[in-house]
Amino acid sequence: MKDDDPEKRIRELERGFGGPTPTAGGPFYDAGFTSPPRRAGLRWSLLAFVALAILVPIAIAVVWGIKSVRNTTANINGGGATSDVPITLEHGATFSLGGNGANDTIACNDGNLTLNANNSTVNVTGHCASLQVRGFATHLKVDNADRIEVSGYGNAITENACNDGKLSFAGYGNTFSTRGHCASLTLSAYGNRVQADSIEGIAISNYGSRVTVTGHCGSLKVSLYHNQVQCDSVDTVEFAGYSYNNAVTYHTGSPKVTNSGRNNNVNQR
């Protein structure tokens, strides 16, 4: 009778190959290898990387913000904002203000102020040791400065009291008015308009400017052309170098005139 048990037949065949039937069990590891490492270290490394990716940009932003705030004490660049709080300089400090379309008030406090503002309105209160105007198209009011230097253009500047101050214009197309007596006025750029009560010495070395002095002019020197100067009185007038088509008018006195140019006129009105 045939043996119809298939499982028995399989077991007999396996014994014929000389190998026992493998038994079920756990995973096999060669004795020469260590067991696989746990993944806890990798997880902590990943968490640390994520934390650094978040915290480092925050720290950089905080440091940059602190640095920006500190820099505003010495140099402010506005962007069209209007400041309701006046900026007050420390006594004798050096300060620079820039920006476009700003509206600021600065208490100068015997400081040295530089304005790089454009299309702005700035009110400078108190006394400045020096004031430099480098921007353009700005309306500026100043109480008083020992020295005002204008290298910008198209600015309108009003000073309350000159108080023997020194005025210098190396920029063009500016208008300036002041009260009181000024020690000196130097115009080395063209197309400026200046009005003052009195000026000790005036030097004009460019063209197309106009100076009006309601009081006394000490000395006047003109070195180029198409300038006009009006004084109530003037001590000396000199047309130097390549000067021509300049006009000086005065009301009283007898000024001493030196004319080395041509077509220059000195007239009493």
Q: What is the pLDDT of residues 199-219, one digit of tens each?
A: 999 999 999 999 999 999 999
Examine the pLDDT at 247 and tell me if it is beyond 70. Answer: yes
What is the mean predicted confidence (pLDDT) over 226-248?
A: 97
**pLDDT score for 137:** 98
- Of the listed ranges 56-60, 162-166, 247-251, the least confidently predicted one is 56-60
Look up residue 43 and give its two tokens: 């997880």
Half-sphere CA count of 223, side-chain side, radius 13 A: 11
Look at residue 56 in the predicted model and tell me its pLDDT. Answer: 58
List % helix, strand, coil for the chain (3-state, nearest 5).
Answer: 15, 45, 40
Return the percentage of the chain with pLDDT > 90, whole number.
Answer: 68
Segment 43-49 mean pLDDT = 65
Give the separation between CA 232 and CA 237, rounded to whole angstroms.
13
Mean pLDDT within 243-248: 98
Is the pLDDT at 26 greater than 80? The verdict is no
Tens of pLDDT, residues 82-137 = 556 889 999 999 999 999 999 999 999 999 999 999 999 999 999 999 999 999 99
**What is the arithmetic mean of pLDDT over 48-63?**
60
Residue 12: per-residue pLDDT: 65
Q: In terms of Cα–Cα distance, which of 261, 197, 257 is closest to 230? A: 197
pLDDT score of 22: 45
pTM: 0.71
- Rounded to whole angstroms, the Cα distance separating 41 from 31 reads 25
> Domain boundaries in the chain?
76-268
User: Given this model, what pLDDT does residue 79 score?
Assistant: 47
Task: Tell me the pLDDT tens digit for each residue of 256-267.
Answer: 999 999 999 999
